[in-house]
Amino acid sequence: MKNGLLVLLVVFLFTACGYKPSSHYAKRQLEGSIFVNLIINLEDPRNAVIIKDAMHELIVHRLDSNLVFDKKLADTILDVKLNSVGMQELQDDEDGYNNLYRAVVTILVAYHKDGAKKSFTVSGDYEFSINKGSTITDSKRFEAIRNAATKALEEVISKLAVQSFEKKK
């Protein structure tokens, strides 16, 4: 009886359900070495650098891919552009001052591989509060945009995975 149960457990363990995480499919879309080309928005150049750093971290740590710093050496060229940054007022205090905000970031991601080009947009938001009667400082704004951009780039893996299932034309 115990041997039968052990065999059944081993068979189940090795056949399981065949689940693969979305990062597996995203890796297939971006096989080989990757070059990240940052398209800088002249209205907000400081925040564009945040996007490139976050994309590098995503490629290296989440996708375990090879990053190159020369376009000629890349198998895939990834264009990243900060499309828009916005601040929304969410809540006022009893004196009428805004004290809760939401930073919303939209990023355009396009990649070129084997002569084909695909693109998509991702967006993320981050809510933050400020002290009573004060205004948003540059450091608070910068931090909020960085957090919203990081959330937006978390969508990149799932978008790439979905595109890996599309039929090749």
Q: Is residue 32 part of a domain?
A: yes
pLDDT of residue 113: 84
- What's the CATH number where 43 sits? 3.30.160.150
**Whether the model pTM is above 0.75:** yes
User: Domain limits at 144?
Assistant: 15-164
Domain tally, the chain: 1
pLDDT digits (tens, 9 = 90+) for 86-139: 999 888 777 777 788 999 999 999 998 888 899 999 999 999 988 776 777 888
pLDDT of residue 16: 60
86 within domain boundaries: yes
9 falls within a domain = no
pLDDT band at 148 (very low <50, low <70, confident <90, very high): very high
Is 31 inside a domain boundary?
Answer: yes
Asked, for residue 108, whether it belongs to a domain, the answer is yes
pLDDT tens-place string over residues 19-29: 667 677 777 77
Q: Is residue 33 part of a domain?
A: yes
- Indicate whether 144 belongs to any domain: yes
In a domain? residue 169: no
Secondary structure in 3-state letters for the chain:
CHHHHHHHHHHHHHHCCCCCCHHHHHHHHCCCEEEEEEECCCCCHHHHHHHHHHHHHHHHHHCCCEECCCHHHCCEEEEEEEEEEEEEEEEECCCCCEEEEEEEEEEEEEEEECCEEEEEEEEEEEEEECCCCCCCCHHHHHHHHHHHHHHHHCHHHHHHHHHHCCCCC
pLDDT digits (tens, 9 = 90+) for 40-97: 877 777 777 888 888 888 888 888 888 999 999 999 999 999 898 899 988 877 777 7
